[in-house]
Amino acid sequence: MRLGIFGGTFDPVHVGHLLLAETCREQCELDAIWFVPAAFPPHKLTRKISSDKDRIEMLQLATAGHPSFQISTVEIDRGGVSYTAETLTHIQQQHPEAELFFLMGADSLAELATWKDPQRICELAIPLVVRRAGSPTPDLAVFNTLASPTRLTEISRYQVEMPVLEISSTDLRERAGHQRSLRYQVPRAVECYIETQRLYRD
């Protein structure tokens, strides 16, 4: 099984997340993609995030009906700060038959070397570097000291290009806080959930 792992806070999940996942699934011929909501993302420890229940519920609403999209609560179940290397280790131990791919935006490349155990991440999974259409080819030099020659070849082969879609969870939280429209930026079911639960309002 070719399994894509897509981590994030998903607060809220939006159509940009879904398009990224679907683009990776199609271009890299993945059998499944697991959305993995973080318990406490190390780069967002100072920001209050929505409850685990709300974020999982929004993910379930957003991915309902897609046979290849699943939700994994491995990081929430583990608790504490969520580190990608630990998550991939756990998934590899539970599913040794799976070939793992780690979905990441091109803008995350510059920070990858500062993550916990980035070499281990590259050993466990093939990073799928996703760039927006029309943007320059990502500089993959960061992987030179993190990945084996074989893995470097695989990373180069599996680069992903997705359509330009400028949507951010930060902006959506602000819009929801001011009761502005989220229509067509999040799935309709997620929009209704945010409205009924009054999420992101002070």
The structure tokens 């991440």 sit at 121
pLDDT at residue 45 in the model:
62
pLDDT at residue 162 in the model:
94
Residues 6+ apart with CB under 8 A from 160: 23, 24, 27, 28, 128, 129, 130, 131
Check residue 183 and report its DSSP letter: B
Please, what are the domains in the chain?
Answer: 2-166 (3.40.50.620)
pLDDT tens-place values along the chain, 202 residues long: 999 999 999 999 999 999 999 999 999 999 999 999 999 887 766 678 999 999 999 999 999 999 999 999 999 999 999 999 999 999 999 999 999 999 998 888 889 999 999 999 999 999 999 998 888 888 999 999 999 999 999 999 998 999 988 899 999 999 999 999 999 999 999 999 999 999 999 7
pLDDT at residue 104 in the model:
94
- CA atoms of 75 and 77, how far apart (whole Å): 5
Per the rule left: phi > 0, alpha: psi between -120 and 50, beta: everything else, 103 is beta
pLDDT at residue 193 in the model:
98
Residues 6+ apart with CB under 8 A from 150: none
